[in-house]
Amino acid sequence: MLKQLTTLFAHTPPFAVLLIGIAIGIFASIPVGIGIHKYSCEKIISELKQRLHKRISARVKKRIDALYELTYELATTLNYRRVLDMILDVALQTLEEGGEKIVGAVLLFDENDSLGIATSRHLPPSDKKKRFEGKKGALSIAITTQEAVSLFNPSQDPELKTLIALQEAQSAYLLPLVVGLEIYGVVIFAAKAPDFFTDERVEMLGVLSKQAAIALQNARLYETLQREKQRLAESEAEARKKLARDLHDGPTQTIAAIAMRASYVLRLIDKDPQTAKEEIAQIEQLARQTAKEIRHLLFTLRPLILETQGLPAALQTMAAKMKEVYGQNVLVEVDPRAIELMDLNRQTIAFYVAEEAVNNARKHAKASHIWVRMRLVREDIALLEVQDDGKGFDVSEVGSNYEQRGSFGMVNMRERAAMVSGHLEIHSEPENGTIIRLWIPLTEDAAQRLQAGKLG
């Protein structure tokens, strides 16, 4: 009889085994039985306790091992998708101990602030393509409050009802993935039983969701570092290309012309000394012009005056060199209040955007005048404007085939704007000149407003 009972209990949940054991104890204490008095009541209960202890210990050990493996994975990998997969596997392994099939999914925010399914278990292919706004129902509550949400009848939820896998579910549990003040997404678990998510299971899921959030934070920080590293490498490569182009278009060709003229002078010295003298004067003029161009290139590569005297002095120096080297009229207007509120990093970005815009106008717009203006539009937002009276261009047409062009001036300006969380606008029409605006936030709150499209 004991063997039959223990075999039966081998597939019974632990708490059910405990309840049955108590019932048998009560029943065995009755004098009139059906043969169970042949066995010692104490022996049956003792055997049940041992089996229950073994099953609970095995379950706890299994969970501890799973958490240890998850923690190790979290500490040794920066692949957050791998960690998310492990978290779902551990969660479902724990939740499905009773034999019920559990639906699990991790929803992450994308660049458009909508939720997409990053990884899942027991979802059909059509469900995996679904996207959610997170503005209604349980998703909205979990995101807004940043607290876990218990949900009954998830098939009636205004957003989750679109998931086919949740049509038969009677209960669901949503956990926001939060680290500090930043929320990355929501983890969803769903079951057919209405009372499936007990306190014990909820506590376990809470631990797992915290691990998932930490994994996401670490991965995002790593990805940000890698992107910044790549951006710096690309910027350095582009700077080298720009220097090579400028040297080729300017000093290199001038030096080649000097060499040709010098060779010509050598042949003229004996035959026509007067013409040779005139040619030498021309060579001297070319050499002086080349020296000016090289000094200008060195200035744009490392404007030391920007570090020592600030943005207004650097812009004025740039304008003077444009006039001296290329004969280009550049007019600078700077509001001192804007400079007082800008740190050196923002001033540096503003200078390079202005220099790029002025250089583009000189080369391509054939402008008579270029205006560089810096002013405050609010107490926490500065505006840099570079305007020219040149021939202008079709912005949409140029932007559509920009990758095939040899120059990356517009790309460089947009990337530099992003480095200070700024917003760049380019307005131009053929024969009507060009105006470039860079909105520079001076506070974190201003940066958030700019990202929301509030420029003024």
Which fold, 79-220? Beta-Lactamase (3.30.450)
Positions in the chain short of pLDDT 50? 1-20, 22-39, 41, 52, 402, 406
First vs last C-alpha separation in the chain: 83
pLDDT at residue 117, rounded to an integer: 93
3-state secondary structure of 196: coil
- The Cα 110–Cα 385 span in angstroms is 32
* pTM (two decimals): 0.47
3-state secondary structure of 441: strand
- The Cα 258–Cα 280 span in angstroms is 9
pLDDT at residue 329, rounded to an integer: 93
pLDDT at residue 156, rounded to an integer: 94
CATH superfamily of 307-456: Histidine kinase-like ATPase, C-terminal domain (3.30.565.10)
**Identical fold at 79-220 and 307-456?**
no
- 62's enclosing H/E stretch is helix 41-76
pLDDT at residue 268, rounded to an integer: 83
Contact in structure between 219 and 135 (CB atoms under 8 Å): no
Task: Using CB atoms within 10 Å of the CB of residue 76, give its burial: 0 to 12 exposed, 13 to 18 middle, 19+ buried.
Answer: exposed
pLDDT at residue 59, rounded to an integer: 58
The encoded tokens of residue 14 equal 């632990």
pLDDT at residue 386, rounded to an integer: 96
Task: Using CB atoms within 10 Å of the CB of residue 270, give its burial: 0 to 12 exposed, 13 to 18 middle, 19+ buried.
Answer: exposed
Contact in structure between 226 and 218 (CB atoms under 8 Å): no
Task: Using CB atoms within 10 Å of the CB of residue 271, give its burial: 0 to 12 exposed, 13 to 18 middle, 19+ buried.
Answer: exposed
Beta-ladder partners of 387: 371, 435
Helices (H), 181-272: 199-247, 253-271
Task: At 53, give phi and psi (nearest 5°).
Answer: -60, -40
Domain ranges (residues) in the chain: 2-57, 79-220, 307-456
Question: What are the tens digits of pLDDT across the range 305-319?
Answer: 888 889 999 999 989
Question: What are the tens digits of pLDDT across the range 323-355?
Answer: 988 889 999 999 999 999 899 889 989 998 998
Q: Which of 246, 268, 435 is nearest to 358 (CA)?
A: 435
Q: What percent of the chain has pLDDT over 70?
A: 75
The encoded tokens of residue 274 equal 């007067």
